[in-house]
C-alpha cells in the first residue's frame, strides 16, 4: 500500500502499545518512527543524574532549564542518546518511569522537547507517538490515532516486556505506575493528555498486532483513497 507524505500522530494512555504499533506502522509504510516519550525519559535521566530532581520529585526548574541548553539529547542508531552515550535501556527502568510524568509537566521542558520533535517531523513521512502529538506538537497531522486499553491488560503487557529484559517489577508496581502517570498526564496544565477532536480511537485490549494493522489499513484506504 502506497500512502501519501503525511504525519501520523499516535497518542494515548501509558502502555497501550503506542510505540509497538507506531513502529509497526513505520515499517509497513516506510516511514520514520519517532518516540516522543523517549525524549521526556532522557530529560528525566539527565535531571536525576545531575541533581535537578530529588527523591520526592521536587524539581529545580530554573537550574534544569538553564542546563537544557547544553543537553545534546537525540535519536541515534540504537535509540536515544545523550551525546555519544546510548541511554535506551536505562530510560526504560521503573525509577525513570516514576519521575518522568512530573518532569513532563514543566512547560520549559515541554518546549525543549517540542522543538526537537517539530524539527524531526518537518519532512513528513513520520509516525510519532506520545500524549500531545495530535493536539500540540502537530495539530495539523493528517492522521491521528488515540489508543486506549484495559489497565490490567496494559500492566500485564508492560510487566512481561520488562521481565523479558531482565528488569523485575511486580504487576502491582507496574499497574500503580501507569495509573499514576495517566493521572498526572491527563491533569497537567500544559498540553494535557486529551483526545484531539479529529482523532480516531483504537481500543486494542483484545486485538493482535495483525488485527490492528488491518484496522488501520481500512481507515487509510477510506481516508486517502489508496
Instruction: Kindly state the smallest distance separating residue 223's Cβ from ligand CDP, in Å.
Output: 23
CB 36 within 8 A of CB 117: yes
Identify which of 134, 140, 123, 115 has the alpha carbon closest to the alpha carbon of residue 195.
Answer: 134
Binding site for ligand CDP (CB under 6 A): 14-15, 19, 36-37, 40-41, 100-101, 104, 130-133, 181, 185
**Closer Cβ to ligand CDP, 3 or 137, answer by number:** 137
**Closer Cβ to ligand CDP, 57 or 222, answer by number:** 57
Interior angle at CA 76, CA 72 and CA 78, nearest 5: 125
**Closer Cβ to ligand CDP, 97 or 216, answer by number:** 97
HEC per residue, the chain: CCCCCCEEEEEECCCCCHHHHHHHHHHHHCCEEEEHHHHHHHHHHHHHHCCCECCCCCECHHHHHHHHCCCCEEEECCEEEECCEECCCHHHCHHHHHHHHHHCCCHHHHHHHHHHHHHHCCCCCEEEEECCHHHHHCCCCCEEEEEECCHHHHHHHHHHHHHHCCCCCCHHHHHHHHHHHHHHHHHCCCCCCCCCCCCEEEECCCCCHHHHHHHHHHHHHHHHCC
Instruction: Kindly state the smallest distance separating residue 139's Cβ from ligand CDP, in Å.
Output: 13
Q: Which residue is nearest to ligand CDP (CB)?
A: 37
Instruction: Kindly state the smallest distance separating residue 86's Cβ from ligand CDP, in Å.
Output: 16
**Closer Cβ to ligand CDP, 4 or 107, answer by number:** 107
**Closer Cβ to ligand CDP, 121 or 130, answer by number:** 130
**Closer Cβ to ligand CDP, 157 or 217, answer by number:** 157
Instruction: Kindly state the smallest distance separating residue 15's Cβ from ligand CDP, in Å.
Output: 5
Instruction: Kindly state the smallest distance separating residue 92's Cβ from ligand CDP, in Å.
Output: 8
Instruction: Kindly state the smallest distance separating residue 20's Cβ from ligand CDP, in Å.
Output: 9
Amino acid at each position: 500500500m502506497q500512502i501519501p507524505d503525511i504525519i501520523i500522530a499516535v497518542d494515548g494512555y501509558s502502555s497501550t502499545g503506542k510505540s509497538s504499533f507506531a513502529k509497526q506502522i513505520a515499517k509497513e509504510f516506510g516511514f520514520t518512527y519517532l518516540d516522543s516519550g523517549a525524549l521526556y525519559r532522557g530529560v528525566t535521566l539527565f535531571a536525576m543524574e545531575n541533581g535537578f530532581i530529588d527523591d520526592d520529585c521536587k524539581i529545580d526548574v530554573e537550574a534544569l532549564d538553564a542546563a537544557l541548553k547544553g543537553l545534546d539529547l537525540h535519536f541515534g542508531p540504537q535509540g536515544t542518546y545523550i551525546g555519544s552515550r546510548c541511554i535506551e535501556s536505562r530510560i526504560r527502568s521503573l525509577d525513570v518511569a516514576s519521575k518522568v510524568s512530573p518532569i513532563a509537566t514543566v512547560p520549559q521542558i515541554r518546549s525543549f522537547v517540542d522543538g526537537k520533535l517539530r524539527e524531526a517531523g518537518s519532512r513528513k513521512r513520520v509516525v510519532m507517538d506520545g500524549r500531545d502529538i495530535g493536539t500540540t506538537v502537530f495539530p495539523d497531522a493528517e492522521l491521528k490515532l488515540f489508543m486506549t486499553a484495559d489497565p490490567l491488560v496494559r500492566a500485564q503487557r508492560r510487566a512481561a516486556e520488562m521481565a523479558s529484559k531482565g528488569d523485575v517489577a511486580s504487576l502491582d508496581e507496574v499497574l500503580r505506575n501507569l495509573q499514576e502517570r495517566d493521572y498526572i498526564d491527563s491533569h497537567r496544565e500544559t498540553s494535557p493528555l486529551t483526545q484531539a477532536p479529529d482523532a480516531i480511537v483504537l481500543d486494542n485490549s483484545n486485538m493482535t498486532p495483525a488485527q490492528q494493522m488491518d484496522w488501520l489499513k481500512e481507515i487509510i484506504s477510506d481516508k486517502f483513497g489508496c
